[in-house]
Amino acid sequence: MGLLPEIKNRFSVRHFKDVPLDPEKLSRILEAGRLAPSAKNRQPWRFLVVDDPAIKSKISSAAYGQQHVKDAGAVIVACSTNVEYIMPNGQPAYPIDITFAVSFMMLQAEKEGYGSCIVTMFNESSVHDILTLPYSMRVVMMLAVGEKDEEPTHTDRKPTSQVISFNHW
C-alpha cells in the first residue's frame, strides 16, 4: 500500500487539541522535509519550528487571525534560502522546492497520527519581524501540525478519467 493510506486519510485540520507534539514524532516530520527533492539538489530551505504559545499567537495574527495557527501543537515556518535560482523554463525553483518539502512533512505528520494544514495566507513582512528572520530569506508557507480535534472531512476528488491521460491529450 505504501503511502496511499496516508494520502487518502489526510485532510486539512483546522481544530487542534491543546497538547504539545511528541519530540520524536516532530523530528521524523522535519526529517521528511529535509529529505525532500529540490532542483539541482540545492536544498534551499530552513524550517523554523514555532511551539511557544505567545509566538504562535503573534504568527496567527500575521496570518490574518487564522485560529488553527495559534492552536496547533507547532507551526513549521518553511523559508527559502535561495530565491535567485531560475529553472530553464523561466520559473523560480524555490516555491516548488519548498512545496515538495512541506508536502513530505504533511504526509509524515499524517503517518505519525497528527493533523496538519498548509498556511499560505500571511503577511510575510510581519512573520519576518516576529521571528527575526534575515530579510534574505523568503517565508514561502507554514505548516500547522498537531493532534486532531475534529472528525475527518474529505472532499470529493475528480475521477481519474478527468485528470489522467497517457501519451496524448
Position 60 scores a pLDDT of 98
Structural fold of domain 4-150: NADH Oxidase (3.40.109)
Distance CA 76, CA 98 (A): 12
DSSP count for the chain of H helices, then E strands: 7, 4
51 pLDDT above the threshold of 90: yes
User: Where are the domains positioned within the chain?
Assistant: 4-150
Residue appearing with cell numbers 517565508: 139
Q: Which three cell numbers stand for residue 104?
A: 513530505
What one-letter code names the amino acid at 62?
A: A
Backbone phi, psi, residue 118, to 5°: -70, 135
Q: Is the pLDDT of residue 1 over 80?
A: no
What confidence category does residue 111 fall into, taking pLDDT thresholds of 50, 70 and 90? Answer: very high
Task: Give backbone dihedrals phi and psi of 63, rounded to 5 degrees, phi first.
Answer: -95, 30
Model pTM? 0.95
Residue 150, phi then psi, degrees to nearest 5: -160, 155
Q: Count how many Cα atoms sit within 13 Å of the Cα of residue 138 in the half-sphere of its side chain.
A: 14
